[in-house]
Structure 1
Amino acid sequence: MFQDITIDEARKLMEKKQLTWVDVRSPSEYRNATIPGSLNIPVFDDEERAEVGTIYTQVDTHAAKERGLEIFSKKLPNFIRAFSKIGGEKAVFCWRGGMRSKTAATVLDLMGIHAYRLQGGYRAYRKWVTGQIEHMDFQPETYVLGGYTGTGKTYMLRKLEEEGYPVLDLEGMANHRGSIFGDIGLKPHNQKTFDALLVERILQLGRPPYVLMEAESKRIGKIVLPEFLLENKERGVNIIIELPVAERVRNILDDYRPWEKQEECLAAFARIKERIHTPVAKQIEEDLRRGRYNEAVKLLLEYYYDPRYDHSLDISGKDRVKTIRAEHTDEALKQLKEMLKEAGFLLR
């Protein structure tokens, strides 16, 4: 017989041995939000789920269960085969720990494959995440990377994270670059996914003496940052990155690759076009259409992004401001590492 497990019990188990989460909801539910790192082995696909749901509401529960069993029975060999390939302990979950996860865990048990069932399903996990955020005690020394658009802040943070530095890559968690062009070529995460990734990362970091993050505003795309992060940012050490305009343009082009997403770039520009002096806006649009991306980016920086940054930058009166001036991003990264070293924060 399968065994129900709570979020707290599952996390304790994960400290001792491997545990793989398996989301047995439909693919669209899984894409919308899930437990980070989970696999998707659905009991029903989206069309089947809709069919069973319609029978449930228009006929009755018994008829819906019968149709569900008929659909699922045809999938059993592939379903069992998929689970057989997963090593270590397994825990299945659906939306609220109902029939789908119960059916999956029962069938697996009958085939000799042990799997826990998450009590309360994904809904319980989401409640746990929001509770963690509400009561989060995370106050390390915070180093906040700021600077004009294109200074490679996200690039540097990700390089540092790869090397083991304590980093909160907020744009990575949001899957959004934090500007009007920020979702180009990406599929931004929703608030549920962002919150889950943030909580999991903070718990992974434990209690580091310091953490690095970018100087984000309250929102990244449609994502809203929790209050404790904004408070950490306010108390933090501000590090302003300064690079030549040519290097910033190169960074932006390397990141966005507008020649592959011209229509998306034009659509994004249309949303800010009216905020730029008309002749300049017309020139930017023409440059984008004609593939003169270097020129378009330079004008965007000069007439839109840099003035907005100057207006929003509020470090007046703060005595915890440091500046890094470099010719290219990797040089700035090297200076940042030296700065951390001088502050006594060595990579362990």
Structure 2
Amino acid sequence: MFHDITVSDLLSKKDKEPHTIIDVRSPKEFKEATIPGSINIPVFNDEERVEVGTIYKQVGKEAAMERGLELFSKRLPKFIGEFKKIETPMTVFCWRGGMRSKTAATVLDLMGIRSNRLSGGIRSYRRWIVDYLETKEFRPKFFVLNGYTGTGKTYILQKLKEKGFPVIDLEQMAGHRGSIFGQIGLTPSNQKKFDSALVTEMLEYESEPFVFIEGESKRIGRVYLPDVIYDKKEKGLQIFIDLPLEERVKNIIEEYEPWNHPERFQEAFRYIKKKIHTPVAKQIEGHLGEREFTQAVQLLLEYYYDPRYEYSASHYPESQKIMIQAESVDEAFNKVLEGIPQSKMGA
């Protein structure tokens, strides 16, 4: 017989041994938010879930269960086959630990496949995540990468991670680069997905002496930083990177590839057009229309992003800052490593 386990039990199992977590909800539900690392083996597809839910509301629970069983029985061989491929201990879950996960776990048990079921489903996991972010103290010190737009902060974070340093990439989790153009070419996360990914990283690094992050505002695209991260970021060691303007323009062009989404860049610019001196705004709009992206980016930096950055950076005391000047992102990366005293790294 299958066993019900709590979220804490599940996370403990993941830490101790290989463990597979299976989300048996529909593909659409899985895409919207799931437990990080889960795989999707659905009891119902998206259309079937809607159909069963409609019957439940309009006719009743018994009729919905009968139709659900009819639909599920048709895919039972394939469903079981997917589970037989799994060689580790496993836990199944649905929305609130209801009929779908119970049906899945019961069928697996009848076929001799042992599994656990997450008590309370993904709703209990979400409550656990929210409670963790509201009540837990994240102990590592923060080394915060700051700099004018285009200084390659994300690239430096990636290089640091490749070198084995603890890194929390907030923009990657948010699916957004943090600027008015930051969502172009990316798939933005919702708050549930962002929080889950963030807590997964926090659990991984909770025993580290320090973590590198990027200096973000409270909001990144569609998501908001929890206070436990934002407040700690504000108190962290602020590393300010300064690169030549032409180098920053080049970095932005290479990262954003605006020629792939020219209309979206024009559309995004309209949101900030009124905040830029009218003659300059017209120049930028003209350059975007003619796909002269280098000229447009340079003007955006000079007349919009740089002044905003200078204002936001001014409130940190000098004792909390490390200033780095470089000619390229790679030079900046090397200076980041050189510029942080080993004692601050906990060495």
TM-score interval (norm. to shorter): over 0.9
- Give 2:16's aligned residue: 16
- Give 1:217's aligned residue: 217
For the residues of structure 1 that align with 2:332 and 2:107, how far apart are their CA atoms? 56
For the residues of structure 2 that align with 1:88 and 1:208, how far apart are their CA atoms? 29
Task: Tell me the SS of whatever aligns to 1:15.
Answer: helix
- Give 1:75's aligned residue: 75
User: Is the contact between residue 139 and residue 206 of structure 2 (CA under 8 Å) also seen in structure 1?
Assistant: no
What's the offset of the Cα at 1:341? 5.2
Counterpart code for 2:328: H
For the residues of structure 2 that align with 1:340 and 1:133, how far apart are their CA atoms? 28
For the residues of structure 2 that align with 1:162 and 1:23, how far apart are their CA atoms? 31
For the residues of structure 2 that align with 1:344 and 1:319, how far apart are their CA atoms? 13
Map 1:31-42; keep pairs closer than 5 Å. 31-42=31-42
Q: Does 1:226 align with 2:226?
A: yes
Q: Does 1:167 align with 2:167?
A: yes
Q: Does 1:185 align with 2:185?
A: yes
Task: Tell me the SS of whatever aligns to 2:142.
Answer: strand
Counterpart code for 1:28: K
Counterpart code for 2:133: I
What's the offset of the Cα at 1:107? 1.1
For the residues of structure 2 that align with 1:283 and 1:77, how far apart are their CA atoms? 63
- Give 1:112's aligned residue: 112
Counterpart code for 1:281: A
> Could you tell which deviates more after superposition, 284-293 or 59-68?
284-293
Task: Tell me the SS of whatever aligns to 1:34.
Answer: coil
Map 1:128-143; keep pairs closer than 5 Å. 128-143=128-143
Q: 1:47 to 1:316 in 2, by over 3 A?
A: closer
For the aligned residue pairs, the C-alpha RMSD in angstroms reads 1.5
Q: Does 1:317 align with 2:317?
A: yes
- Give 1:300's aligned residue: 300
User: Is the contact between residue 101 and residue 117 of structure 1 (CA under 8 Å) also seen in structure 2?
Assistant: yes
What's the offset of the Cα at 1:83? 1.5
TM-score, length basis structure 1:
0.96
What's the offset of the Cα at 1:187? 1.2
What's the offset of the Cα at 1:344? 5.4
For the residues of structure 2 that align with 1:326 and 1:269, how far apart are their CA atoms? 29
Q: Does 1:151 align with 2:151?
A: yes
Counterpart code for 1:218: K
Q: Does 1:336 align with 2:336?
A: yes
User: Is the contact between residue 184 and residue 264 of structure 1 (CA under 8 Å) also seen in structure 2?
Assistant: yes
User: Is the contact between residue 139 and residue 232 of structure 1 (CA under 8 Å) also seen in structure 2?
Assistant: no
Counterpart code for 1:303: Y
> Could you tell which deviates more after superposition, 224-233 or 123-132?
224-233
Q: For each residue in 1:306-337, what CA deviation from the matched residue of structure 2 results, as whole angstroms up to 9, or x when unmatched?
A: 11111222345341211110000011001111
Task: Tell me the SS of whatever aligns to 1:213.
Answer: strand
Task: Tell me the SS of whatever aligns to 1:144.
Answer: strand
For the residues of structure 2 that align with 1:16 and 1:148, how far apart are their CA atoms? 43
For the residues of structure 2 that align with 1:262 and 1:105, how far apart are their CA atoms? 50
Sequence identity (%): 55
What's the offset of the Cα at 1:16? 2.1
Counterpart code for 2:248: R
Counterpart code for 1:205: Y
For the residues of structure 1 that align with 2:123 and 2:73, how far apart are their CA atoms? 26
- Give 1:250's aligned residue: 250
User: Is the contact between residue 138 and residue 207 of structure 1 (CA under 8 Å) also seen in structure 2?
Assistant: no
Counterpart code for 1:340: I
For the residues of structure 1 that align with 2:336 and 2:316, how far apart are their CA atoms? 22
What's the offset of the Cα at 1:297? 0.6
Counterpart code for 1:123: R
Counterpart code for 2:128: W
Task: Tell me the SS of whatever aligns to 1:168.
Answer: coil
User: Is the contact between residue 101 and residue 117 of structure 2 (CA under 8 Å) also seen in structure 1?
Assistant: yes
What's the offset of the Cα at 1:122? 0.1
Counterpart code for 2:21: W
Q: Does 1:275 align with 2:275?
A: yes
For the residues of structure 1 that align with 2:129 and 2:316, how far apart are their CA atoms? 36
User: Is the contact between residue 209 and residue 346 of structure 2 (CA under 8 Å) also seen in structure 1?
Assistant: no
Task: Tell me the SS of whatever aligns to 1:307.
Answer: helix
For the residues of structure 2 that align with 1:104 and 1:70, how far apart are their CA atoms? 14
For the residues of structure 1 that align with 2:162 and 2:257, how far apart are their CA atoms? 23
For the residues of structure 2 that align with 1:105 and 1:330, how far apart are their CA atoms? 52
User: Is the contact between residue 142 and residue 236 of structure 1 (CA under 8 Å) also seen in structure 2?
Assistant: yes
Task: Tell me the SS of whatever aligns to 1:145.
Answer: strand
Counterpart code for 1:124: S
- Give 1:89's aligned residue: 89
User: Is the contact between residue 340 and residue 346 of structure 1 (CA under 8 Å) also seen in structure 2?
Assistant: no
Task: Tell me the SS of whatever aligns to 1:254.
Answer: helix
For the residues of structure 2 that align with 1:201 and 1:210, how far apart are their CA atoms? 13
5+ unaligned residues in a row in structure 1: which ranges? none
5+ unaligned residues in a row in structure 2: which ranges? none
For the residues of structure 1 that align with 2:345 and 2:311, how far apart are their CA atoms? 32
Task: Tell me the SS of whatever aligns to 1:186.
Answer: coil
Q: Does 1:56 align with 2:48?
A: no
What's the offset of the Cα at 1:346? 7.6
